[in-house]
Structure 1
Amino acid sequence: MASHLSNPASGEAPGGVSIAQLTTISLARLHKKDPAEIALLHRVSSNAGFFYLDFRGDAETEGVLAHHSDVNAVVKKYFDQPTEAKAEDTRLDIKASQDLGYKRGRGGESFEISRDEMTSNGSSISKMPQLFQRDWSKISSFITGCDEACLTLLKSLSEDFMLHHRADHPSDSGLKFVLHPSLAHLSDVGENLHTDSGTLTLLFYKDWSIHAFLPDADRWAFIPPPPGGCTLVNVADTLQTLSEGKLHSPKHRVTQPVDGANNRYFLSYFLRPENEWINKCTSTK
């Protein structure tokens, strides 16, 4: 499947706002070690820091597209529950830097599942909300596919990056479900400008909500929701650090282009470096 500049069929963003045109990278081609695809990946990771990743035709991550709709559906059911029910899923056994389990914060709600807990501790399944337990095989397959996609991207950029992302070393990588409603009035939306702190972020979403700075164009623009079969990939701070600034972690915010209240759901997979690397960086500061 050819890589190209994508302008999804969802058309123009509401309100005639500025729209970003992103490059699409084929995961299947990366798995085949296609030199042109790898070169294109390097280029977009160094410039915009955002790109679409196309899962279509990739057998090694087929669980992502196969279960995306079902995972989305169970996420909506989960957040539709009463607040009291979700509050029971709050975790008190985690570090302050972690977002595992249910959390309610400014602008929305989230539930994060640890990749390591999913793969190494079977008892963790029984601690999950009943809604997730019923679809656990689909959720776990989705997580496994997202993780494989991230590691393939990382390996395609440089084998050296894999030294800090070994599968048998603990990390805080995980899948986060997010409910982040848009508001009736755009003027009421709070500022949340940031860069992502991990290595790579995969973001699945359907509503116009990601506003990013494009260095090459020297302007801000809304990134269209990913085309069918794709996710949005965000180079994050750790990867910028590991590449000594050659790869770009872009500034962006979660907002909305126009007035209008609506429930917006996001599936975010965060690849994060090994805890060992983070601890070493912290101790040398």
Structure 2
Amino acid sequence: MLSQPNPYDNVETADLFTVKFSSLVDRDSKELDTLLKACERDGFFYLDLQDSCSAKLWRDLERVSEIAKRWFSQPVEDKLKTPTVSLAHGFKATGNQSGAVKSLKDGFEALKQIGRSELLGRWALPSVVEENLELFDQFNASCHFILKLLLDCLSDGLNLRGPARLDTHHRDDARSKSTLYFLHYPPGTQSLNEVGQNMHTDIGTLTLLFAPQWGLQVVSPMTGAWEYVQPREGHAIINVADTLRFLSNKRFRSALHRVLPIGGVQKEDRYAVSYFLRAADDTEFKDSNDEDSNAKSWYLTKYHTYELPHDVQGQQTVLSGGMAQELQATF
């Protein structure tokens, strides 16, 4: 039987920087420079994790992904029984938010499975986490380590010292909304009124994304066009989120992105895993409207915005952290 052609073979793809994680561990000056350029130009880049030290991370990712796939295969009635402690911890069903196409709802469900604080406190954990606690503990810690190291490297690259360093806003003993997040985009034949994930920037500081299937798009800062992000084996995707943009006085770009399958219909089950590093709840900054805000307030405001109609979202800067207005991007 002849294999089916990849429908994404001829799409426009984003030309993103690649940063080698093992070189950042040793603070290689050229790699630090590439990291800074990636955050300044795109706010989106590939993280090369093909070194031998990352092998266990990939094994753990495969295991947690298989567990998540089995969990998503449950009837929605069972998934809705998941404890919802906060917006960062619980289950989200499809169709709760505005989608990637104007007037349609979103086409993804999510298990915001492990709020970092809840995991450390062993508080209200879903049964699937309790049954695999050591694995989720380890995977969460690995993701957190990777993003904290990137944050340290950015402070080094910016020559920040003492209390000016970015890690002062990301103390491990402080309450934050950092969380591990599993996403599932079911085939669109289930509901043609639900598709993808709306354009947005992420709420927090840095996002570590494992997305082995096509569908993710990012806005080119050069052309303003939507371009697909090609999945790469052995690489994660990193994107700068709102808080880091604000803390850098907008030197770094918060990456405007969405998930939209080609043709506007999800033809197969699509899965992704994200870890969101977020600043301490009391971290203060000037937001996209140059108004005083803090990490917790921005988080709550943005989550509320996700559920608003497209027309209302387009009148505000919150959904995109001001990047849609800067890039003149549309739904």
- Normalised-by-shorter TM-score class: 0.7 to 0.9
Q: What is the CA–CA distance in structure 1 between the aligned matches of 2:133 and 2:257, rounded to whole Å?
A: 32
**Number of aligned residue pairs:** 265
- The TM-score with structure 1 as length reference comes to 0.84
What's 2:226 paired with?
220
Q: What is the CA–CA distance in structure 1 between the aligned matches of 2:297 and 2:260, rounded to whole Å?
A: 36
Q: What is the CA–CA distance in structure 2 between the aligned matches of 1:265 and 1:191, rounded to whole Å?
A: 13
SS at match of 2:274: strand
Establish whether residue 194 from structure 1 lines up as the match of residue 203 from structure 2. Answer: no
1:88 aligned to 70, 81, 99, which one?
81
Q: What is the CA–CA distance in structure 1 between the aligned matches of 2:202 and 2:12, rounded to whole Å?
A: 22
CA contact (8 A) 1:169 1:274 kept: yes
Q: 1:190 to 1:35 in 2, by over 3 A?
A: closer
1:99 aligned to 63, 77, 88, which one?
88
1:58: how far off?
A: 6.2
Structure 2 residue identity aligned to 1:69: E
Structure 2 runs not aligned, ≥5 long: 96-106, 286-291, 299-331
- Residues 247-268 of structure 1 show CA distances to partners (whole Å, capped at 9, x for unaligned) of 1112111111234521111101
CA contact (8 A) 1:103 1:110 kept: yes
Q: 1:86 to 1:237 in 2, by over 3 A?
A: same
CA contact (8 A) 1:182 1:255 kept: no
Q: What is the CA–CA distance in structure 2 between the aligned matches of 1:207 and 1:41, rounded to whole Å?
A: 24
* Structure with greater contact order relative to length (CA < 8 Å, sep ≥ 6): 1
1:205: how far off?
A: 1.4
What's 2:154 paired with?
157
RMSD: 2.7
CA contact (8 A) 2:24 2:153 kept: yes
Q: 1:172 to 1:130 in 2, by over 3 A?
A: same
1:28: how far off?
A: 1.2
Structure 1 residue identity aligned to 2:108: G
1:62: how far off?
A: 5.4
SS at match of 1:179: strand
Q: 1:205 to 1:253 in 2, by over 3 A?
A: same
Percent identity for Structure 1 against Structure 2: 31
Establish whether residue 117 from structure 1 lines up as the match of residue 118 from structure 2. Answer: yes
Matches within 5 A, 1:114-263: 114-119=115-120, 121-122=121-122, 124=123, 127-158=124-155, 159=160, 160-184=165-189, 189=195, 192-225=198-231, 227-258=232-263, 259-263=265-269
2:24 aligned to 27, 30, 41, which one?
30
SS at match of 2:180: strand
Q: What is the CA–CA distance in structure 2 between the aligned matches of 1:115 and 1:186, rounded to whole Å?
A: 35
Q: What is the CA–CA distance in structure 2 between the aligned matches of 1:168 and 1:13, rounded to whole Å?
A: 47
What's 1:3 paired with?
none
Matches within 5 A, 1:35-114: 35-57=29-51, 59=53, 63-91=56-84, 93-94=85-86, 98-106=87-95, 107-112=107-112, 113-114=114-115
- Residues 134-184 of structure 1 show CA distances to partners (whole Å, capped at 9, x for unaligned) of 322122111111111111111111151111111111111010111123525
Q: What is the CA–CA distance in structure 1 between the aligned matches of 2:194 and 2:182, rounded to whole Å?
A: 24
What's 2:13 paired with?
19
Q: What is the CA–CA distance in structure 2 between the aligned matches of 1:31 and 1:265, rounded to whole Å?
A: 29
CA contact (8 A) 1:63 1:145 kept: no
SS at match of 2:182: strand
1:77: how far off?
A: 0.5
- Residues 62-85 of structure 1 show CA distances to partners (whole Å, capped at 9, x for unaligned) of 542230110110000000011121
Q: 1:186 to 1:81 in 2, by over 3 A?
A: closer
1:216: how far off?
A: 2.8
1:131: how far off?
A: 3.0
Q: What is the CA–CA distance in structure 2 between the aligned matches of 1:246 and 1:209, rounded to whole Å?
A: 28
